[in-house]
């Protein structure tokens, strides 16, 4: 009988382990890259930019067209000749047929299409950077929610432990009350504390569920449900010095690199507008077939023409009312604006990086202090617990030691995960976020 009971317990425990699967950070990132709506939209925008930067959208290739048609005319004619005679024809029919293949090619357009093609390439590069920025922001959202779940999970575990200790305290108080060694007030205080601990645990469990739903939304994985755990292990990376991070940020930060692309795009736009000052030389050619069936009044009963036509044309807009000059001047101002935007973003980046670096160092120091506090709080609780068992400490003092220990554990969790999130922000600012293994 005991063997059967033990087997059942083992099966139940195994099912619980299988049910509570661990969602690792690497798996979460993979799900986000595959399913997140924002990343999907950004990837589609890259595909559009790639299509636009193709040789087929560059005007470097000739255009070829085919035209064909037929016409029919039925008329009543009344013709007066020079000698005074008249000729009347009713139902005079005219039929014409035509077909042609036409080729047009721009030989020279002031290098406008060359710069336009280069601009399309730069726009494609910009779209890739925009996608990278979207992925980085998704990473931040994901880790913020992932570590929130981890923090709440650890806090929930601490609350469960606190509730268990309070239940033991109530049981001890009831025993002491039954044997006349304690008054009813100690029992009531323990019950009140159990209620408070239970409420805190219920709220914590609800916060974990809410955080998991938010993470599922980021992952766009509705089928994941809430029956999973996250990895609560936190390892800190060996980051470079602030000066090294600033140097990397000025070169690799996604926002700064986007600013460089915008400057390059506007410089090419200036060249495109300047190209309108130069002439355009084009080549046109066609190979056609024309046939006509004429009425009796015509000098010819019909004709068929088959031949090749080719020509070169030059077009030069010598003066367009100043439109090109205006566009050129505006393009120069647009370049200056983009340079100012980059300078502003560079200054903002330096300040943000400095503030984040200081916050990171402070948080690591706070974490170290809190870890020392938790050792002190643990020792204090253990000593208070021993003294409480022999009646040297009141239930109020015992409760205070228990609360102090719980608060110390919560403070360590908050400091640990806050420091990790700040570290991830530093990686993003320095352009290294997507290069690290999590």
Q: For 316-353, how does the pLDDT look when each residue is reduced to its tens digit (9 = 90+)?
A: 999 999 999 999 999 999 999 999 999 999 999 999 99
Is 143 within 8 Å of 421 (Cβ atoms)? yes
Closest of 219, 27, 247, 31 to residue 141, by C-alpha: 219
Confidence of residue 12 (pLDDT cuts 50, 70, 90): very low
Region 288-306 average pLDDT: 77
How many Å is the maximal CA-CA distance in the chain? 150
Give pLDDT, residue 305.
84
Q: Which of 89-93, 266-270, 294-298 has the highest mean pLDDT?
A: 266-270
Is 429 within 8 Å of 253 (Cβ atoms)? yes
Q: Is the pLDDT of residue 16 over 50?
A: no
Give pLDDT, residue 165.
93
- Residue 240 phi/psi, 5° resolution? -75, 180
- What is the domain partition of the chain in residue ranges? 32-59+126-278+322-435, 67-108+280-315
Give pLDDT, residue 84.
65
pLDDT per residue over 298-320, tens digit each?
Answer: 666 677 889 899 999 999 999 99
Give pLDDT, residue 390.
85
Token pair, residue 415, equals 């400091």
Place of tokens 């009988």: 1
**CATH architecture of the domain formed by 32-59+126-278+322-435:** Up-down Bundle (1.20)
Is 158 within 8 Å of 407 (Cβ atoms)? no
CA distance 91 to 96: 16
Indicate the SS3 state at residue 341.
helix
Token pair, residue 421, equals 């999130």
Q: The pTM is what?
A: 0.85
CA distance 296 to 277: 55
């Amino acid at each position: 009988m005991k063997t059967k009971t033990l087997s059942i317990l083992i099966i139940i425990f195994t099912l619980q382990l299988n049910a509570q699967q661990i969602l690792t950070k690497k798996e979460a990132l993979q799900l986000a890259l595959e399913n997140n709506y924002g990343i999907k939209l950004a990837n589609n925008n890259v595909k559009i930019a790639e299509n636009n930067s193709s040789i087929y959208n560059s005007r470097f290739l000739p255009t070829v067209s085919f035209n064909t048609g037929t016409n029919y005319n039925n008329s009543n004619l009344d013709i007066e000749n020079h000698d005074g005679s008249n000729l009347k024809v009713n139902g005079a029919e005219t039929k014409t047929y035509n077909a042609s293949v036409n080729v047009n090619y721009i030989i020279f357009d002031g290098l406008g299409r060359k710069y336009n093609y280069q601009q399309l390439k730069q726009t494609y590069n910009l779209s890739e950077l925009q996608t990278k920025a979207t992925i980085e922001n998704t990473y931040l959202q994901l880790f913020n929610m992932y570590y929130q779940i981890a923090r709440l999970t650890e806090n929930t575990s601490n609350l469960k432990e606190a509730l268990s200790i309070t239940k033991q305290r109530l049981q001890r108080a009831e025993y002491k009350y039954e044997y006349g060694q304690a008054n009813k007030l100690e029992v009531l205080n323990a019950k009140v504390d159990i209620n408070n601990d239970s409420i805190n645990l219920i709220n914590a469990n609800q916060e974990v569920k809410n955080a998991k739903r938010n993470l599922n939304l980021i992952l766009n994985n509705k089928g994941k449900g809430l029956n999973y755990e996250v990895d609560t292990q936190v390892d800190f990376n060996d980051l470079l010095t602030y000066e090294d991070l600033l140097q990397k940020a000025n070169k690799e930060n996604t926002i700064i690199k986007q600013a460089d692309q915008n400057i390059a795009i506007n410089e090419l736009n200036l060249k495109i507008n300047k190209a309108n000052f130069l002439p355009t030389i084009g080549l046109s050619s066609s190979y056609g077939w024309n046939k006509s069936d004429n009425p009796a009044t015509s000098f010819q009963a019909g004709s068929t023409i088959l031949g090749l036509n080719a020509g070169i044309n030059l077009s030069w807009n010598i003066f367009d009312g100043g439109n090109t000059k205006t566009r050129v001047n505006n393009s120069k101002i647009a370049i200056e604006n983009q340079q100012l935007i980059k300078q502003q973003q560079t200054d903002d980046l330096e300040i943000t990086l400095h503030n984040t670096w200081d916050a990171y160092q402070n948080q690591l120091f706070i974490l170290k202090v809190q870890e020392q506090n938790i050792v002190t709080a643990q020792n204090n609780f253990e000593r208070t617990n021993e003294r409480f068992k022999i009646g040297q400490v009141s239930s109020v003092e015992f409760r205070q030691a228990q609360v102090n220990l719980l608060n110390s554990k919560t403070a360590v969790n908050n400091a640990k995960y806050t420091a990790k999130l700040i570290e991830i922000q530093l990686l993003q600012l320095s352009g290294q976020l997507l290069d690290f293994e999590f």
